[in-house]
Amino acid sequence: MRVTNLRKLAALVAAGTLVLVGCSSSEESGSGAYEGPLQDTPGTINVLAWPGYAEDGTNDPNVDWVTPFEEATGCTVNVKTYGTSDEAVQLMQGGGYDVISASGDASLRLIYGGDLQPVNLDLIPNYADIFDNLKDRPWNTVDGKNYGVPHGRGANVLQYTMGKVNPEPTSWSVVWEPNSPAKGKVTAYDSAIYIADAAVYLMATKPELGITDPYALDQDQFDAAMALLEQQKPLIAEYWSDYTKYIGAVQSGSITVGTSWQVIANVLNGEKATVGAVKPQEGATGWSDTWMISSKTEAIDCAYKWLNHIITPSVNAQAAEYFGEAPANSKACALTANPDHCSLYHAEETDYWSNVYYWKTPTEDCLDGRTDVKCVPYSEWVKAWSSFRNK
C-alpha cells in the first residue's frame, strides 16, 4: 500500500464524514406527557438553573434546598448554573440535562426545537396552589399543552453602590445618558436580549417611536435601540453575564451602577448594606421562569419529583427569598422568613407588573399584534448585538 493511496483513503473518509453529517438528524420530542404514576426509581438529574434557584449548600452552607430533596427521594441532583438564556439554550441543545428553569426568552425556542416534553400536571400536586395569573401562560403552554411549572418572577433592577452614585438613582438615565455621574463604571447585561432594555428606556424618552412592547420592534425602532446602545458604550466598564464576576467587580469598585438581579444585591448586602436596588420609573425588563423537563431525560420520575419539590410552598418561599423575587406558589407567602416578603416583591399585585416586560423571544410576526410591519426576529438581534460588541 503506497502512501499516495493513503491520501485517497483520506479523501474517502472525508467524503464519508460528509455523508454521515448529511444523514444525521435531530431527534423529535415525544408526543405526549409522561403518564405516571411516579415510581421510586433512584436516578440522577442534571439541573440547569439560574443562579440562586437551586442552591445546594456550596455557596452558603445554610442555603440548601437540594440536599433535603436528595435525602427524601434518593435522587441525585447535579446543579449547573448559567448566566444568560442563550447559554441555557446552548447547554440544553448540547444534551445531558434533564431539568431547566427557563425564562420566557428560552422556553419557546426549546419547545419548538424539540428539546422539552409536555408535563403531566396531575403528577405535580403542588401545582394547584400556583397563582392563577401565572398558569397557562403563552411562554410555557403551547397548543393547550403545559410544558412546566412556574418558579417565580421578577424585574431586572437598577443596582447602585451606595455613596458612589449621587444622587441615588430612580431612573435608568444614569446608565444611558452621556452625562452620567458614573461614566466608566457602568455595567450592562451581556446578551442580545438587553436591546429590549434600550427599548424600555426609549418608550419613556422617545414616545414618538411608538414602541409598545420592547420585544416587538420594527426596523426603525430597532435601529433607535441600537443607537442608544452605541451611545452607552463609552460609559461601560464591563458587560456582565457571570453574576459572581459581577459581585467581585462591584466589591472592587470597578462597577458602581447598572442592571442587575436582586440576588446579586442580596449577596452584596450580605454582611453589610453596600448597594441599593430599585425598579426605576421607566419600568424594566423582567422574567417569569418555568421549570421544564427535557425530552430526552432518562430519570423521568426524579425530574417530576424535583418539579413538585421546588414549588412546594416552603421550598418556593426559601428560593424566592434567597433570590429576591415573587414566588409562584400562593402558599409560599405565609412561609417566608420575612413576613413582608410577598408584599415587598409585589407577588399578589398586578399594578407593579404592568411596566415589567418579561423576557420573551422576538419573532418576525410582531409580538404586539401589529400586522402592517415586520418585526426584527431574535436571530437578527443576536447578529446586531455581535456586530455592536465588536465595533
Partner 1 sequence: MIKSAQHFLNRHVKTRAALLLSLPLGWMIVIYLGALFALFLTSIWKIDTFTSDVIREFTLENFTDVFTDRAYFNVSIRTLMVAISVTLICAVIAIPMAFYMARIAKPSNRPILVALVLTPLWASYLVKVYAWRTMFYPESGFLQWLISPVGGKSPGFGMVAVIIGLTYLWLPYMVLPIYAGMEKLPNSVVDASADLGAKPGRTFREVVMPITWPTIIAGSVFTFSLSMGDYITVQILGGTFQMLGNVVYQNFSLNLPFAAAVSLIPVIIMMIYLAGIRKTGALDNL
Partner 2 sequence: MRLSRTAKITLRTVMFAGFTFIYLPLVLVVINSFNKNKSFAWPPTGFTTEWWTRAAENVGIREAITRSALVALFATAIALVLGSLAAAAIARYDFFGRDSISLLFVLPIALPGIVTGIALNNVFTNFFGKLTFFTIVIGHATFCIVVVFNNVAARYRRIGSNLQEASMDLGADRITTFRLVTFPLIRNALIAGGLLAFGLSFDEIIVTTFTAGAGQTTLPIWIFQNLFRPNQAPIVNVVAAALVVISIIPIYLSQRLTQEKE
**For residues 119 and 341, what is the distance between their CA atoms, to the nearest angstrom?**
30
Q: Which does 247 bind (CB under 5 to 8 A by kind): partner 2, partner 1, none?
A: partner 2
**For residues 55 and 321, what is the distance between their CA atoms, to the nearest angstrom?**
12
**Secondary structure element (H or E) that encloses residue 224, with its range:** helix 219-232
**For residues 301 and 282, what is the distance between their CA atoms, to the nearest angstrom?**
44
Provide the pairing of β-strand 145-146 with 141-142.
Answer: antiparallel
Q: Which does 46 bind (CB under 5 to 8 A by kind): partner 1, partner 2, none?
A: partner 2
Binding-site member from 131, 239, 243, 352 for partner 1 (CB under 8 A): 239
* Residue 245 beta carbon to partner 2: minimum distance, rounded to whole angstroms: 4
In the region spanning residues 22 to 51, those forming contacts with partner 1, defined by CB under 8 A, are: 22, 26
Query: Is there binding between residue 253 and partner 1 (CB under 8 A)?
Result: yes
**For residues 118 and 57, what is the distance between their CA atoms, to the nearest angstrom?**
30
Size of the site for partner 2 (CB under 8 A): 30
Q: How far is CA 381 from the centre of its chain?
A: 17
Q: Could you tell me which stretch among 48-56, 89-97, 140-148, 216-224 binds partner 1 (CB under 8 A)?
A: 89-97
Tell me the helix, strand and coil percentages in the chain, rounded to 5. 40, 20, 40
In the region spanning residues 103 to 122, those forming contacts with partner 1, defined by CB under 8 A, are: 108-109, 112-113
Query: Is there binding between residue 161 and partner 1 (CB under 8 A)?
Result: no
Q: What string marks each residue from 68 to 87 as x (binds partner 1 by CB under 8 A) or -?
A: ------------------xx
Query: Is there binding between residue 62 and partner 2 (CB under 8 A)?
Result: no
Query: Is there binding between residue 178 and partner 1 (CB under 8 A)?
Result: no
DSSP string, 76-93: EEEEEE-SSHHHHHHHHH
* Residue 96 beta carbon to partner 2: minimum distance, rounded to whole angstroms: 3
**For residues 148 and 76, what is the distance between their CA atoms, to the nearest angstrom?**
21
* Residue 115 beta carbon to partner 1: minimum distance, rounded to whole angstroms: 9
Q: What string marks each residue from 295 to 314 as x (binds partner 2 by CB under 8 A) or -?
A: -x------------------
81 or 336: whose CB is closer to partner 1? 81
Residue 359, amino acid: W
Q: Which does 391 bind (CB under 5 to 8 A by kind): partner 1, partner 2, none?
A: partner 1
CB 160 within 8 A of CB 75: no
Query: Is there binding between residue 171 and partner 2 (CB under 8 A)?
Result: no
- Beta pairing partners, 276: 160
**For residues 152 and 130, what is the distance between their CA atoms, to the nearest angstrom?**
10
Q: What are phi and psi of 348, to 5 degrees?
A: -105, 10
128 or 233: whose CB is closer to partner 1? 233
Q: What does the binding site for partner 2 look like in residue numbers (CB under 8 A)?
A: 3-4, 6-7, 20-21, 24, 26-27, 44, 46, 58-60, 78, 80, 93-97, 242, 244-245, 247-248, 251-252, 267, 296
